[in-house]
Structure 1
């Protein structure tokens, strides 16, 4: 059994050496295409966020804070998240920033997420322009607070952190894309090499005779070059 396993490994290594040129070419092509697309074709996307806290209405501050107040505020975070991405808020943000996009398009740039087990909600904005991402995040937070005060008739949302201009894009992750492409290219090259070898049933070496015909080779006829007189 150990001999058979050694032979199998040798055959695999021999196949890889035999097709190493093709495998290397496919790997390099995949890596090169991924690098070109990641570095030159894909538009970088920047991300920034602002955080808001939902708490008691100012009129109830003197009453103190209890557990039910905290739980209510946490539930309000989810409700307020829907208000923050409503067409009313999005429309006012577009108008304030003088953007030439629809409410659906700007809503796709924004995500509202509650911070787990807290009264905090995070407004995250993704855009190809880092400066515009900051403006959208801060303006959305401001308009949202105004609309909550108007709709709910309470003033219980405060801004914690304003958005900061991001220095680096969050995507594409260029080096990761190139690394993944290199691995996939290598796998494709190996897979194609094994497929070609599997489909090739021609006999080229004494080992092929022994493997395919189950016959032992007892001799070989050498080929001599004809010497011209």
Structure 2
């Protein structure tokens, strides 16, 4: 198998450095144009809830003991599913007069359960930051009403209400451009090596000895007029 030295690799890259520069720059510029002018910014906000124990569970003792805490933590996933149930989503859509289907609503709303706690985080992503806040807070309100009625929960309250985000979570132009630059650089190197591999022309005296296995008797210099 033919071996190529590191020196030869650098020589190949240096010979076609303009190709590397051009592809890398085009990749960065394309990513920047798409990120700044084509992709629609999306904003994220969240409301944090803490859910207490159901009225019918646990002891009658008013003091919350360790078993009650464990029970609450086990029930948190159930509450999380309730947040995204049609019972809640349909009422939120109706209250806010949203032009959304239940499926579209579910794509905007994510329920994040904080491990080993009684905390539920209702996260909402939308192109309109004000609408994201409204959906997040209204979902929390409807959920609190529903969980009290359906599951007889004693204590459910909002810890943090949603606030209007100042910056979008995506697109992230700088990150996208950096990634595009790296990919463009790697693609350009791949293209250069592919071209070099497919190029079977003889360019130097060394190529004659290397590929034709013939001795070099002499060379004719290139004399300019």
Cα offsets for 1:38-92 (capped at 9, x unmatched): 1111111110111111113579785311111001111111001111101111111
**Alpha carbons 1:54, 1:76 under 8 Å: kept:** no
Aligned Cα RMSD in Å? 2.0
**CA positional deviation for 1:151:** 1.1
Cα offsets for 1:85-112 (capped at 9, x unmatched): 0111111111111111111111111111
**CA positional deviation for 1:153:** 2.7
The residue correspondences of 1:188-199 to structure 2 (distance < 5 A) are 188-199=187-198
- Return the alpha-carbon distance in structure 1 between the equivalents of residues 121 and 224 of structure 2: 81
- Return the alpha-carbon distance in structure 1 between the equivalents of residues 5 and 202 of structure 2: 18
Give the number of the structure whose residues are more often helix, by fraction: 1
Query: Which segments of 5 or more consecutive residues in structure 1 lack a partner in the other structure?
Result: none
Structure 2 vs 1, CA of residues 27 and 61 (structure 1 numbering), >3 Å: closer, same or farther?
farther
Bigger mean CA offset, 21-30 vs 176-185: 21-30
Does residue 40 (structure 1) correspond to residue 37 (structure 2)? The answer is yes
**CA positional deviation for 1:205:** 1.1
Does residue 166 (structure 1) correspond to residue 165 (structure 2)? The answer is yes
- 1:117 is matched with 116
**Alpha carbons 1:87, 1:103 under 8 Å: kept:** yes
**CA positional deviation for 1:21:** 1.4
In the alignment of these two chains, the number of paired residues is: 222
Match of 1:11 among 1, 8, 14: 8
Q: Scaled by the length of structure 2, what TM-score is found?
A: 0.92
Cα offsets for 1:151-209 (capped at 9, x unmatched): 11333211111001111111111101000000100111110000000000110111211
Structure 2 vs 1, CA of residues 219 and 82 (structure 1 numbering), >3 Å: closer, same or farther?
same
Structure 2 vs 1, CA of residues 61 and 179 (structure 1 numbering), >3 Å: closer, same or farther?
farther
Q: Secondary structure at the match of 2:158?
A: strand
Q: Scaled by the length of structure 1, what TM-score is found?
A: 0.90
Q: Secondary structure at the match of 1:63?
A: coil
Query: Which segments of 5 or more consecutive residues in structure 2 lack a partner in the other structure?
Result: none
- Return the alpha-carbon distance in structure 1 between the equivalents of residues 161 and 201 of structure 2: 71
**Alpha carbons 1:19, 1:193 under 8 Å: kept:** yes
Does residue 84 (structure 1) correspond to residue 83 (structure 2)? The answer is yes
**Alpha carbons 2:43, 2:168 under 8 Å: kept:** yes
Match of 1:20 among 17, 21, 32: 17
- Return the alpha-carbon distance in structure 1 between the equivalents of residues 125 and 66 of structure 2: 35
- Return the alpha-carbon distance in structure 1 between the equivalents of residues 108 and 221 of structure 2: 73
Q: Secondary structure at the match of 1:197?
A: helix
